[in-house]
A and B are shown apart, each in its own frame.
Chain A
Amino acid sequence: MKKSISLTLKVWRQAGSTEKGSFETYAVKDISTDMSFLEMLDVLNEDLTREGKPPIAFDHDCREGICGMCGAVVNGRPHGPEKGTTLCQLHMRHFSDNDELVIEPWRSRAFPVVKDLVVDRSPLERIIIAGGYISVNTGSAPEANSLPVPQEAAEKAMDAAACIGCGACVAACPNGSAMLFTSAKISHLALLPQGRPEAARRAIGMVQEMDRLGFGNCSNITECQVECPKEVSISNIARLNREFMKAWLAADEK
């Protein structure tokens, strides 16, 4: 395998949320295949800066695939071509010399572009505010081992809780639905006995908020699961639907 490659990048440039954006083309040379995708963008940004041009804005922080801050659509795929990988953990060894890459921000009605590849994902936070928690005040918890949790339930809860909130699922969905994100949190808490007392209220609250925020409907296209960097499963969506139906049927007030 070649140790360094050259690429043509077509990058979405947009100066601000109210400006019009367009693609700009850049040639990058001598990119080490050990670099991460973001390091490749760093190299381009250093060059742009030295040339007195505005560098490309992109969100990132941990660069370890866990904070959920990074993300862009690369050749039509959120976080690029590798399965189960965030953009920061995508390495250039997965590309070939002279590849052409089209790099765009998340595209979704609910996520306005802030600048270049940066979008506003605050609607995801609104969904959590609508019930993504267990109401326990500091100081009131019982002894941790007083409530055994079957290992399998804990493991499944952990699978769902692994969601990093990056928004790739929304970007991947042709309808712009946030079902995978929402269902991951509902499942994480519904699978644990600690989360059961509020399960019904949580399901209704979060689903209604999601609808209100302008996310699209889920029509079982399953692209979200394919693109999720943490491989959160759509079985969580089935669980959300069950939790929601149960809650809805039982609720007095609707």
Chain B
Amino acid sequence: MELEAKIPKGPLPEKWDRHRFELKLVNPANKRKFDIIVVGTGLAGGSASAALAELGYNVKTFCIQDSPRRAHSIAAQGGINAAKNYTNEGDSIWRLFYDTVKGGDFRAREANVYRLAQISNAIIDHCTAQGVPFAREYGGLLANRSFGGAQVARTFYARGQTGQQLLLGAYSAMMRQVAAGRVRMFPRREMLDLVVVDGRARGIVVRSLLTGEMETHLGHAVVLATGGYGNVYFLSTNAMSSNVTAAFRCYKRGAFFANPCFTQIHPTCIPVHGTYQSKLTLMSESLRNDGRVWVPLQAGDRRRPGDIPESERDYYLERRYPSFGNLVPRDVASRAAKAMCDAGKGVGETGLAVYLDFKDAIARDGRAVIEKKYGNLFQMYEKITGEDPYETPMMIYPAVHYTMGGLWVDYNLMSTVDGLFVLGEANFSDHGANRLGASALMQGLADGYFIIPYTIGGYLATASLESLSETHPAVQEAKAASVQRIHALLSVNGRRTVDDFHRELGRIMWDYCGMSRNNSGLEKARERIRILRGEFWENVKVPEGNETLNQSLERAGRVADFLEFAELMIIDALARQESCGGHFNEAYQTPDNEALRDDAQFCHVAAWEYQGDDREPAFHKEPLVFENVALAQRSYK
């Protein structure tokens, strides 16, 4: 199958305009005849539901949580980028575009990223109008701060709760449409399969998490906005219910999975401290505006941080990257922290941590200023660790945070299954091999508020979609397969708990497919995943039955999919014999240990097609063409 990205012709700045003009429109009176299924209520799904309903479509929206307001996006802390140039530092759409393409280590599509930068400003306008309480200057205008990978301050924020406030904005817009009768909300539902009829996505199978009932919901198009798959590593900064199930089930129905090995390990998280640990907590990247990262100069120095004099500290990011300093992109900062710890300079009980120190910032600006900017983050740190970061430096270590890989989509955000659109973290589109801070919120909202409303119209206006009933064999088959799968999970009746399997899988992935990878480790991981998967289906213990709220059963289904999906990540990592962004293969590095790309062979998107459980997935390539930026070795020096 030929991968057609459908990038519009013409100069980069005109592509989106031209495309919107060329897309067919659905007559306003006809919109209400179309039923659209939206799965997910994070920034991407929430904004899409609201925007589509405002246009008059009938929208049915699904989420796992008891309320759409609790989607994982709620936890985003630091901020959202836009090219407003309010700070007069010379920002522009072009600069945001350029920074994002470069930050992604030249593995994203130019046209998509440019469109994202173009839309960024309208997002800030819209969210402000919705009542999102962004931080403001004394004069009443919007404030900005800096994030990694940029030399201008273009990040808008609402204290350390930007995701919460943006999501509540999208949620309230959606609730307004619920009141208007144009959105019907289905919480506590988990999508377990996609219904494909005549090659087109026409519905979903969901399990009611309260009653176990398997439901089918049909429509004219399906919009998937189910977030990222970072929880394949067990420990991550993602919410506990974040999963790959919905995306993976679509993969099995014909949607290609792009760049699954591109995962982001975030440099500033609270270090792991015990085997019982259930998740990791992010300390927002915004802290690197004022915090300075350091380790002791001498390996094995066990003195308390306050007892180590300035001359015996290594502010290694400032030393190695003088022009970006503490604000280098995430992949670079994470690898640098790992290198320090590998060299024995790590601090804390486990030696797997570095300091993030606010002493100088507090001396310069005063405690009150720092408290206003980061108060809730400092408080969260203190709650978790029992230490006061105003007094002693924070200890941080990298943790799994975000997944750049996702279902492959064309410029319209449509997957390789017609009528299946994929938005937000669930698609692969804009961040290449490394996402810059504050650009996931931007992308989720761009996709939902300002792209899907047009591109879905282009599809619906031209597709001929016959009416469909629940009794159609394809609908019945998908439903029966999901029922069967639940039954299979409940019938194993083994001795090991779901979490036990999940923890072991996470360990394998972190050790062999984490911050640093090599071919023999990846091969070993693949073998171990297969063995673990075999054991899972023979020895997992899922208590209770289907007809009740059964949280172990929910997790079992997700872990079963992670056990299959993990292998796809490994296959992808092995196929990409270069280093780029977050994918670091030890065999490919520069003399300074930076990621060394191989543009001659790997300047492409790797898209994988499911071929059956016992067959290798088929590899498809979408070449990436750079017409507007020159491919260069990334330098943050």
- Tell me whether B200 is interfacial, beta carbon within 8 Å: no
Can you report 30 A-B residue pairs in the complex whose CB atoms are below 8 A from each other?
A15-B548, A16-B548, A42-B278, A46-B497, A48-B543, A54-B544, A57-B551, A61-B70, A64-B282, A65-B383, A89-B383, A91-B383, A118-B549, A122-B187, A124-B67, A131-B179, A134-B172, A136-B126, A137-B54, A138-B453, A139-B126, A141-B122, A145-B86, A148-B141, A149-B136, A154-B134, A154-B136, A158-B133, A158-B159, A195-B131
A54-79 CB mask vs B (1 if < 8 Å, else 0) is: 11010111111111110000000000
A49 touches B178 (CB 8 A): no
Chain B residues positioned under 8 Å from A161 (CB to CB): 133, 158, 165, 168
Contact call A64/B136, Cβ cutoff below 8 A: no
Contacts of B363 in A (CB 8 A): none
**Minimum CB–CB distance for B636 against chain A, Å:** 29
The tally of residues in B whose CB lies under 8 Å from a CB in A reads 77
With A39-B277, A69-B65, A148-B140 as known contacts, state yes or no: A128 contacts B175, CB within 8 Å: yes
Shortest Cβ distance from residue B608 to the other chain A in the assembled complex, whole angstroms: 29
Cα-based distance from A195 to B50 in the complex (angstroms): 18
The interface residues of chain A, by DSSP majority, are classed as: loop
Roughly how many angstroms separate A145 CA and B156 CA in the complex, as a whole number?
Answer: 12
B409–chain A nearest beta-carbon distance, Å: 21
Known contacts A89-B380, A129-B179: A66-B278 contact under CB 8 Å:
no
Partner pick for A85 among B171, B239, B383, CB 8 A cutoff? B383
Residues of B105-133 contacting chain A, CB below 8 A: 122, 124-126, 128-131, 133
Q: A132-B175, A141-B125, A144-B128 are in contact. Are A63 and B133 (CB under 8 A)?
A: no
User: Are B278 and A63 in contact, with the CB atoms below 8 A?
Assistant: yes
The distance in angstroms between the C-alpha atoms of A62 and B137, with both chains bound, is 31
From the candidates B161, B179, B239, B450, name the one contacting A138 in the complex (CB within 8 A).
Answer: B450
A55→B125 contact, CB < 8 A: no
Is B173's CB within 8 Å of the partner chain A? Answer: yes
* Structural contact, A42 and B499, CB atoms closer than 8 A: yes
Judge if B146 is at the interface, Cβ distance under 8 Å.
Answer: no
Q: Name the one of B133, B171, B277, B281 contacting A64, with C-beta atoms under 8 angstroms.
A: B281
- Of all chain B residues, the one with the shortest Cβ separation from A154 is B136
Distance in angstroms between the alpha carbons of A14 and B138 in the assembled complex: 53
Q: Which of A34-50 contact B (CB under 8 A)?
A: 34-36, 38-39, 42-43, 46, 48-50
Interface digits, A19-53 against B, CB 8 Å rule (1 contact, 0 not)?
00000000000001011101100110010111011
A65 to B134, CA, bound (A): 20
Residues on B with C-beta less than 8 A from A194 are 128-131
Determine if B597 is an interface residue (Cβ-Cβ < 8 Å). Answer: no
**Docked complex Cα distance between A188 and B548 (Å):** 38
Is B133 a contact of A151 with CB atoms below 8 Å? no
- Which residues of the other chain, A, contact B499 by a CB distance below 8 angstroms? 42, 46
Residue of B129, B380, B497 with most partner-chain A CB within 10 A: B129
**Contact A129-B240, Cβ < 8 Å, known A66-B161, A158-B158, A188-B131:** no
- Do B281 and A192 touch across chains, with their CB atoms under 8 A apart? no
Q: For residue A218, which residues in chain B have a CB less than 8 angstroms away from its CB?
A: none
Assess whether A252 is interfacial by the CB under 8 Å rule.
no
* Chain A residue with Cβ nearest B52: A138
What CA separation (Å) do A177 and B122 show in the bound complex? 39
A127 to B488, CA, bound (A): 41
B491 contacts A by Cβ under 8 Å: no
A161 vs B131: C-alpha distance in the bound complex, in angstroms? 10
Residues on the B chain within 8 Å of A154, using CB: 133-136, 140
A126-181 interface with B by 8 A CB criterion: 128-145, 147-151, 154-155, 157-158, 161-162, 164-165
A5 at the interface (CB under 8 A from B): no
Whole-angstrom distance between the Cβ of A117 and the nearest chain B Cβ = 11
A7, CB-defined interface residue at 8 Å: no
* B5 located at the interface, meaning its Cβ lies under 8 Å from any Cβ of chain A in the complex: no
Cα distance, A60 to B134, chains bound together (Å): 27
Of chain A, the residue at the smallest CB distance from B550 is A57
Kindly state the separation between the CA atoms of A66 and B130 in the bound complex, as whole angstroms: 20
Q: Is the CB of A144 within 8 A of B137?
A: no
CB atoms of A151 and B383 under 8 A apart:
no
Chain A residues in the interface with B (C-beta under 8 A)? 15-16, 32, 34-36, 38-39, 42-43, 46, 48-50, 52-55, 57, 59-69, 84-85, 89, 91, 93, 114-115, 118, 120-122, 124-125, 128-145, 147-151, 154-155, 157-158, 161-162, 164-165, 188-189, 192, 194-195
Q: Is B273 interfacial (CB 8 A cutoff)?
A: yes
A129 touches B54 (CB 8 A): no
CB of A32 within 8 A of CB of B281, answer: no
Q: Does B289 contact A (CB under 8 A)?
A: no
User: How far apart are the CA atoms of A129 and B184 in the complex, in Å?
Assistant: 12
Contact of A138 with B67 at beta-carbon distance under 8 Å, contacts A49-B552, A62-B75, A89-B384 already known = no
Interface set, chain B 198-226, CB cutoff 8 A to A = 210
What residue of chain B has the Cβ atom nearest to residue A57's Cβ? B549
Q: Does B386 contact A (CB under 8 A)?
A: yes
- Asked if B139 is an interface residue, CB under 8 A from chain A, the answer is yes
Known: A35-B274, A39-B277, A43-B276. 7 other contacts (CB 8 A): A62-B240, A64-B75, A89-B383, A91-B383, A136-B129, A158-B159, A165-B70
Q: Are A115 and B128 closer than 8 Å at their CB atoms?
A: no
| B172 and A132 contacting across the interface, CB-CB below 8 Å | yes
Q: Which of B129, B141, B282, B379 contacts A134 (CB 8 A)?
A: B129
Across-interface contacts of B171 in A (CB, < 8 A):
128
Shortest C-beta distance, B49 to chain A (Å), equals: 11
| Bound-complex Cα distance A59 to B450 (A) | 33
B9 at the A interface (CB under 8 A): no
